[in-house]
Structure 1
Amino acid sequence: MRRSILTQVFSGDRVFLSIVFILAIGGIAIFSSATLGLLTQANTNVTRMIITQIVFGLGGGIIAFATFRIISISLLRKVAPWLFGLSLLLTILVFIPGLGVYAYGATRWLNLKFITLQPAEFLKVGVVLFVAWFLARNTKRLSEYKYGLLPFLGIIGAPALVLIKQPNTSTILLIGVTAVAMYFVAGAPKRDIGILALLSILLLGAVVFTHPYILKRFNTFVYPTNVSKLKGGYQIRQSLIAIGNGGITGRGFGESVQKFSYLPDPTGDSIFSVYAEEFGFAGTMILVLLFFSLAARGIYISARSHDRFSAYAALGFSVLIATQAFINMGAMLKVIPLTGLPLPFISHGGTALLVVLAESGFILNVAAHNNKKKAKGIIPVST
């Protein structure tokens, strides 16, 4: 029985499973190296951080991975609206005094005494599953506003209103990109592109007007001349120094210098810079290739699915993980403004690691069903 369960959990698509395994185990190693940079900071329990990441993040993530790998997809389809509602409720709970934790200029965490959670991570899963449920039910009617664009805007608008209050604009961006990708792959009319583009511009203007820190990030991106530790330009400058220090092959595992008192939050969104300094351009290209391969394989699995809900959800999770990874790396390379989004599988955050492993488990679940059905698939793809 035990062998049968293990065989089921680790079956489906060996290529995808191998990529997830490399990112998860490699991520813990990179995180452990980056935490050494916190030894110079007072009141930081490095040992506790590592244990929490391994026990809750990786340990809990393995359980979540196994659960989403073997759970009935038809059951997930039925409860998708409820999971969305529950994840939205959890995200709202951060505004309750005594439960919500205010840090880094935002209220994004829940303090449950024995552990701290970031509900927005669960909200990502809830949104993808609910959008997939909605699209699967209305694929042939998306050209009608009352079955297509209007309810779609409501689905992504509700989380956006909650997240903007925290504020958590980077997650709004991530959810929006993912949901829109799913919407158009499902066959939404081209006219909706213009409507969504116009609404996005108006929303961006309103957000910038009400949240000046976003405009400051753009200014820092264009003019990163202020290198004070209290200013955003400092992080960009130190990130580029770390990446430059890595050269072609890197300084070696654990040998990063910038993680010691130079890079702000070396275990958070700056962890890519630590990795680049230790493994160089060659290592960076390997990491980029891993995330690209994860997305490509996930989309391929999605395209082969016989079930619309499975196809759209697998696509959504693939886009979600890859987009977050490339946004993080792009920000550290000064290709785009800073967003604060962590690097999937690698950055500090037990909730984030648990969730990304759950998402990966679902994609593998879809792959296993594809192998059983030998179906042609919903989305055309060459083999």
Structure 2
Amino acid sequence: MSTAAPERTPRTTPRGPWRRLTSAARAAARPVYQGIAAGSLSSSAVGICVSALALTILGSMMVLSASSVEQISKAQSPYALFARQVGYALVGIVAMFAASRVPLRWWKSRTLIFWLMSGTIALLLLVLSPLGVEVYGNRNWLALGPLQFQPSEIGKFALVLWAAWGLAKTPQVAVSVRAALLPSILGFLATFALVMAGGDAGTGIVFALIYAGALWFARAPMKIFRWSAILGVAAAALIVVASPHRIQRVIGWLVPSRCGASDACYQSNAGLAALASGSWWGEGLGESRQKYNYLPEAHNDYIFAILGEELGFIGSLVVIALFTVIALSLARVILRSSDRFVRIAAGCMLAWYIGQAFVNIGMVTGLLPVIGIPLPFISYGGTSLMMSLFAAGFAMSLTRAPTHPALELSALEEPERTSRLEN
């Protein structure tokens, strides 16, 4: 006589040291999450708006200071780039407030998202055509008559909407990986591949960060992140070894003693010298010495070095504090919103702004190898500034989404990420 096998009692505690550690970390972080989520989402909109405007104003001032000497050396007006940056800022600010009033249902429109992504891919393809413009070895500009812009900056926002829409279609991404991941990952791979085909590794990193943020806040299985990390390291190694100049930069970053005053290390050394001379309070606004044609791209990728030299460590902390306000404001949206699309989109924006700022500041301070990537809101550049401000308006519009009560955070109550891929 056979007896029925006893039912297996579900395990109620995490298995293995890693899961016990993550469970303990989650419990310890819960008060922090509750503190972030305690405020209203209207305060998040204010935080994003004020921080974006403050960074833009500070950036315009630093563009004037960092670019004036170079413009004079070219027999041009010292205010030329500053005037352009202010014009870009005004257009971007108008776009920011306009985007902040767009209803959420419009952002979630499948038609809008499809045509925006399709248009972005078409523009990125044109960049690789004779209409594309190569700057410092990167083919990431498109010239259409008198208009010259970077389609990849538009692509960042297109990827935010595309990834949030694709991953929000199912309540839990692990329930149907095929249905949830395929639309979003195809859009990511297409835009990422086209950007990398133009040689713009810095922007490619930002695209990868945006999509990684989408997967994380969609609660994708950890197996995806493990394989992505392996493939990412392999791809980064291939990108480095494909360029002798990149090899020299990485070697100089890993072994500074072997770098010396070579061309590959000149920019990073000049940037570190600018930061060091700034000390606590800086040399004073407009008093930088490195901007006298010593530091390449002083008004662009390396503007944080000039800021640190003129405004010192305290000024640098102010910039980091403003980005922190943006991060906390977006984190509140993620924790409080009951709309899955909104949570994923806010996570993408968090990865975009904070990831790009971290890479830029890390590059300038020597924590990361030199990568051509601008500092959001601050570096000179029309397309970058206008799209950063427009995206800030989009982030502000997310704060009008339905919310959970402050102490009933669904993001904290969702089940743990599964390590298996189902379906």
* Both proteins in one fold, TM over 0.5: yes
Separation in structure 1 between the aligned mates of residue 237 and residue 184 of structure 2, nearest angstrom: 21
Aligned with residue 227 of structure 1, among 261, 271, 283:
261
Contact 2:335–2:410 (CA under 8 A) maintained in structure 1: yes
Q: Name the counterpart of 1:5.
A: none
Q: Distance in 1 between matches of 2:65 and 2:241?
A: 40
Q: Which moved more, 1:32-41 or 1:163-172?
A: 32-41
Matches within 5 A, 1:8-23: 13-23=45-55
Contact 1:139–1:187 (CA under 8 A) maintained in structure 2: no
Q: Structure 2 vs 1, CA of residues 141 and 317 (structure 1 numbering), >3 Å: closer, same or farther? A: closer
User: Are 1:62 and 2:93 counterparts?
Assistant: yes
Q: Distance in 2 between matches of 1:81 and 1:93?
A: 18
Q: CA deviation at 1:232?
A: 2.2
Counterpart of 1:338 (choices 370, 384, 406) is 370
Alpha-carbon separation, structure 1, partners of 2:194 and 2:54: 35
Matched residue, 1:312: 344
Specify the code of the residue in structure 2 equivalent to 1:68: A
Distance 1:115-1:49 versus aligned 2 partners, 3 A rule:
farther
Q: How has the CA–CA distance of structure 1 residues 161 and 14 changed in structure 2, closer, same or farther, with 3 Å as cutoff?
A: closer
Counterparts in 2 of 1:206 and 1:145: CA distance versus 1, 3 Å? farther
Name 1:271's counterpart in structure 2. 303
Question: 1:326 aligned to 2:358?
Answer: yes
Moved more, 235-244 or 205-214: 205-214
| Alpha-carbon RMSD | 2.3
Give the counterpart of 1:93 among 126, 151, 157: 126
Q: Determine the C-alpha separation between the residues in 2 that align with 1:61 and 1:53.
A: 10
Structure 2 residue matching 1:102: 3-state secondary structure: strand
Task: Determine the C-alpha separation between the residues in 2 that align with 1:153 and 1:16.
Answer: 28
Larger Cα-atom Rg? 2
Q: Distance in 1 between matches of 2:152 and 2:210?
A: 15
CA apart distance, 1:374: 6.8
Measure how far apart 1:69 and its partner are: 0.6
Partner of 1:115: 147
Name the CA distance, whole Å, in 2 between partners of 1:346 and 1:181.
23
2:394 corresponding residue in structure 1: 362
Kept in 1, the 8 Å contact 2:339–2:402? The answer is no
2:248 and 2:152 mapped to 1: Cα distance? 24
Change (3 A) 1:16 1:270: same
Instruction: Give the distance between the partners of 2:274 and 2:295, measured in 1 at CA.
Output: 8
Q: Is the 1:148–1:188 Cα contact (8 Å) retained in structure 2? A: no
Moved more, 26-35 or 38-47: 38-47
Taking a change above 3 Å as real, the CA distance of residues 146 and 212 of structure 1, as seen in their structure-2 partners, is farther
Report the CA distance shift for 1:113/1:54 in structure 2 as closer, same or farther (over 3 A).
farther
SS in 2 for 1:138: coil
Matching residue's letter, 2:261: V
Does residue 282 of structure 2 align to residue 250 of structure 1? yes
Mark the CA change 1:267 to 1:358 in structure 2 (over 3 Å): closer, same or farther: same
SS of 1:111 mapped into structure 2: strand
**1:279 partner amino acid:** L
Partner of 2:220: 188
Paired with 2:365 and 2:405, the residues of 1 have a C-alpha distance of 42
- What TM-score do the two structures reach when normalised by structure 1? 0.89
Match of residue 133, structure 1, among 165, 169, 190: 165
- Whether the 8 Å contact between 1:142 and 1:149 is mirrored in structure 2 is no
CA distance in 1, matches of 2:387, 2:334: 19
Q: Distance in 1 between matches of 2:241 and 2:255?
A: 20
C-alpha spacing 1:197/1:168, structure 2 compared with 1 (3 Å): same
The superposition leaves residues 164-209 of structure 1 with CA deviations (integer Å, 9 ceiling, x where unpaired) of 1101111111111221122122111122222212222332233334
1:39 shift after superposition? 3.4
| 2:399 counterpart SS class | helix
Which consecutive residues of structure 2, in runs of 5 or more, have no partner in the other structure? 1-41, 414-423
Q: Is the 8 A contact 2:60 2:86 kept in 1?
A: yes
Distance 1:215 1:151 in 2: 35
Cα pair distance change 1:145/1:202, threshold 3 Å: farther
Post-superposition CA distance 1:219-257 (Å, at most 9, x none)? 2312442424xx120011111110011011001111111
The answer as to whether partners of 2:62 and 2:299 remain within 8 angstroms in 1 is no
Sequence identity of aligned pairs in percent? 28
Q: Is the 8 A contact 1:143 1:189 kept in 2?
A: no
* Residues 1:148 and 1:206: Cα distance change in structure 2 (over 3 Å): farther
Write the distance in 2 (CA, Å) between the matches of 1:14 and 1:309: 21
Query: Is the 8 Å Cα contact of residues 164 and 344 (structure 2) preserved in structure 1?
Result: yes
Distance 1:342 1:279, change over 3 A: same
